[in-house]
Structure 1
Amino acid sequence: MNPALFSMVAVVLAGGATALQAPTNAKLMGAVGSPVNAALVSFAVGTAALGLAALILQARPDIAATRALPWYAWVGGLYGAVFVVAAAWGVPRLGVALTITLMVAGQLLIGMILDHFGAFGMPAQPISWGRAAGVALVIAGVVMVRKF
């Protein structure tokens, strides 16, 4: 399989997993009493799964390389925590489709800005009319999911 196509399929499947994660964590929230508690359980299960995967794959971190990382390389989990709490909280109030489309719209808006400036050492990809139109279409999709 073409590596780019494989990457795109893998990312689409991961996006599908986030759509599954939102109602799953919303259900969990009802049992554990809050979206924060649901996120805590979710991250504990995820951490255990990643630990097992690391053992099976014999993935070992390069400790020397971690010392040279900038501070922001260590806070990615915080963004994930915000995402999981917001999804668990939003789904019962907005529904799965609206919650996910709003999240995708937010991801695209921030992603396009980060791309434009080449933030965090990533290659710069300037905002173009086509890219802006794509994000606008997603935002139009949010409106359609909400109104219809």
Structure 2
Amino acid sequence: MSKNHKAIFKSRRACSADKANGSNWQSTDEVVTCPEFLIRNDLAPELNSILVTVANLKPSQHQVRKPTKKQISKVKRSIEVFGFVAPILINGENDIVDGHSRVEAARALGLKSIPCLQVGHLSEPEVRALRIALNRTQEGTVRGNSLEAGRARN
């Protein structure tokens, strides 16, 4: 992989669809590279943290996974216990980039506004790639027994 290219996680199906539309995506087993995405000089960009009315948040048209009722119920319970502590990622038009299940849980709890981080510095293709990368990193996690260990100590 060339140093000029940023590695982007992307499904093979999405990569094939983009190639059909004339994109320059190149794929290996798990990593996809694209010349349109250069490595950023600013790895920690300044993000705007704002409170956004829940009713103004729009689900993504390119949602990687749709949250289930069971997942929303678990997130809702987590918010009841810990509060709303993980901001939603949104673009400049209040489209949800990451956090669909938290938004649905907030709606179910009747919250009027929730904290969000704007990633307006990213282009639409970068936002789509970010969604996929976040989804892929969540797929690769292994559940630990930290909750049980915490209960045993108390």
Name the structure where helix makes up a greater proportion of residues: 1
Name the structure where strand makes up a greater proportion of residues: 2
TM-score over 0.5 for the alignment? no
